Amino acid sequence: MSFFQRLKAGLAKTQHRLVHEIRRIVTRSPRLTGATLEELEAALLGADLGLPMTRRIVDAVKTAYETRGRDGPDVFAIARAQIEQALTPAETPLGRASAGLTVVSVVGVNGTGKTTTCAKLAHYVQGRGAAAMLAACDTFRAAAIEQLQLWGRRLGVPVIAAAYQADPAAVAHDAIAAAQARGADYLFVDTAGRLHTKSNLMKELQKIHRVMDKKLPGAPHEVFLVLDATTGMNALAQAREFHRAVPLTGLVVTKLDGTSKGGMVVAIQQELGLPVRFIGVGEQAEDLQPFDPRQFAEALFGTPEPAVA
Amino acid sequence: MFDSLSSKLQNVFRNLRGLGRITEANVADALRDVRLALLEADVNFQVARDFIEAVKQKALGQEVLRSIQPGQQIIKIIHDELVTLLGADSPGLRLEGAPASLLLVGLHGSGKTTTCGKLARWLHKQGAAPLLVAADVYRPAAMDQLATLGRQLNLPVFTKPGETDVLRLAREALAFAAANQRTVLLFDTAGRLHIDQPLVQELVRLRDLVRPAEILLVLDAATGQEAVNVATHFHQALGITGAVLTKLDGDARGGAALSFRAVVGRPIKFVGVGEKLEDLEPFHGERLAQRILGMGDVVALVEKAAEAVDQDEARRLEEKMRKGQFTLEDFLAQLRQMRKMGPLESLVGLLPGGADALKNADLSRSEKEFRRMEGILCAMTPAERRNPNILNARRRLRIANGSGVKVSEVNNLLNRFHQMQQMMKKMGKFQKLLARMGGPGGAGGLPPGMFGR
């Protein structure tokens, strides 16, 4: 069997769902040997949980088995508990300024779904009786402004925009002025996608935030980093760099309607203490849900039931 | 915590290099580190495991133990295995059919529309007559985005705002291409999840209608373990013929590329290395492997330089340098040429070990320094640039005021320029000597010491 054939055969297996994988590992082998632990490790890595978190769960499983024997603990329960413990929930999905306008800046690398998330957030606060506005600060990508304006029309939300190549900080400034004048409750600022490694673009982002703070002290009140659930370990680098440039207040994980598990948010919260605020689960305006750590853990490891034989 | 794969492997290799003899234990140790590094680089765990297994089998073989430098030998095995896995260099695009059709598919936000524009530019440069087809009928303003790119490229775009039937749109696009003598159609399809059956089936119908010569999967370089699932599903449904790896200008380690190759087995054809339309490069397996292994991508650097540097101009400057007639005027020209090659950070990233150096260096500062230098040079009169010796204190003060810097900065620049001139004169003599002895002549385009600071 050639190297490639072996790879292909091996990879077919990985399509099993994580739960099946772990269940198989546990039921097949009553005692956790080095080999089973490695399989458990592989399954956890497959969910993009990253090495440190994976090690933590594997260690927890190991310890539990060593101290209580095989009849005691349930591997799922241990893993779930570990994840839940790592993900402290945010006090509120979306904060509110003590008075007047609340400005929410939405940042992230290219193609994670910032524009769609802005629209969904506007829809979310609308549903709670608040007046929302959108600021089209992506003046770089072709048709980014049109995309936000189309959303604005669909949702009946005013969109503040300028021409392409305009200074995004100026757009943000004007948008805050407009939102204040119209008495809006929330302003969602859609920034251009930028790779976290481009220092000039990160400086541009800092400038946008500086200008907003000057126009309305305290703004932006929330800074959300939008992460694509399919992203792997690079998500941590993204979060780290964005957090260093403009202190973030939370994460939004998008595209969780696929088979991606978005496991890297666990590592991010571990290192940076940034809670996940919302998850995006579809292309429609209502496909945005406040994040629930318990649900997330259950989605990864199945609902709690005495399933392990 | 998460070092880049390059630096991680460099650490592993440093340990290996120190070994006189390879035992099974230290190979296993080193390979465990390599495996962890690969996992951190988002290589699928199964792919990583099999890769390590293959390397181990070879490393423990006779050839290694008998070779003089076992450590070097293992590095070579890892490198070769990585190149094999990544696949050969880009075989280019297959453009069969009249007109030929290319289908770009992928997840949301992987960069299909931008890649479409970049590929159109590339094909146009190769002499083809591309037609961009905006086949994304779902995402708001997706058609506008492609239309804007078309305008920037001055290439026709087939759009039909309000259309919801992709097949009808495709049929009309084919007719339009036939009527307007377009030779290649680039279909920018909507982003979709690989498990969204209705939408994937829509792609299957589109494929059956246009019979594309290529179906390219557009894959974000930062994709995690999921890359395997994405590639498998799209491949099973459509029969992918190749991939374009996007956003490789970030610090994502591109393990997704390995995963794609492992499950689909088709070549990676292009890589996206920036937001601008010219930021598309043919894929080179060897280069990506070397980059992953921390050997830098010197070839890309040279190519970049070749593209930015006017050859005649470079020869003229070289001649001047050799003769010691290098003036501030030439210095300014060089400075501008270098900045044309792109931001410094992307250049240094291509140098061996550059990614490591980049971590600590604030390149935007050097970048700024270059801009200041340009400003100072521009504040001089042509006469002053041609003959810096006439720069007395009054002139220097004027230049400093004119470019908004302190006089000391002007002096600094002049000092460095003089040093450079001295060095060049010496080099010129040295080269003449070499030339007389039949050695290699012709120094590179950039003056030495440019990167020095």
Provide the 3-class DSSP secondary structure of residue A127.
helix
Q: CB neighbours of A202 closer than 8 A, spacing ≥ 6?
A: A194, A196, A241, A242, A245
Q: Max Cα separation, chain A?
A: 71
B41 part of contact set with chain A, CB < 8 Å: yes
Distance from C-alpha of B225 to C-alpha of A230, rounded to nearest angstrom: 8
Measured in angstroms, the CA of A133 and the nearest CA of chain B are apart by 18
Does the pLDDT at position B398 exceed 90? yes
Please name the residues between 117 and 136 in chain A that touch chain B, using a CB distance below 8 Å: none
Q: Which of B51, B188, B226, B228 to mutate to test the interface with A (most CBs of A within 10 A)?
A: B226
Query: What's the confidence (pLDDT) of residue B204?
Result: 94
Dist. CA B252–CA A271, nearest whole Å? 19
Map tokens 């292994």 to a residue.
B293
Q: How far is B310 from chain A (nearest CA, A)?
A: 27
A11, A203, A300: which to substitute to probe chain B, counting the most B Cβ within 10 Å?
Answer: A11
Q: Is the confidence at residue B14, as pLDDT, over 50?
A: yes
pLDDT averaged per 10 residues, chain A (length 309):
44 48 59 65 80 84 73 69 80 82 94 93 94 93 90 94 91 94 94 89 93 92 93 89 93 85 85 90 87 81 50
Structure tokens at A132: 């929302």
Over the stretch B252-294, which tens digit does the pLDDT of each residue have? 778 888 888 888 888 899 999 888 898 998 888 877 776 665 5
Across the range B430-452, mean pLDDT stands at 47
C-alpha gyration radius of chain A: 22
- Chain B contact for A35, CB < 8 A? no
∠ CA A266-A272-A274 to the nearest 5 degrees? 70
**Sequence-distant (≥ 6) Cβ neighbours of residue B387 within 8 angstroms:** B327
**Nearest chain A residue (CA) to B111:** A111
CA B287 to chain centre: 10
Strand partners, B383: none
Chain segment A126-178, per-residue pLDDT in tens: 999 999 999 999 998 888 999 999 999 999 999 999 988 899 999 999 999 99
Nearest CA of chain A to the CA of B426: how many Å? 38
- pLDDT recorded at residue B442: 38
Please tell me the distance from the alpha carbon of residue B375 to that of residue B175, in angstroms, as a whole number: 54
Question: Where residue B141 falls among pLDDT bands split at 50, 70, 90?
Answer: confident
Distance from C-alpha of B365 to C-alpha of A262, rounded to nearest angstrom: 36
> Any alpha helices (H) in B87-196, and if so which ranges?
112-125, 142-153, 166-179
Cβ neighbors of A110 (< 8 A, separation 6 or more) are A141, A193, A194, A195, B109, B111, B247, B275
Residue A284 zone, left/alpha/beta (φ > 0; ψ -120 to 50; rest):
beta
ipTM confidence: 0.78
Q: What percent of chain A has pLDDT over 70?
A: 83
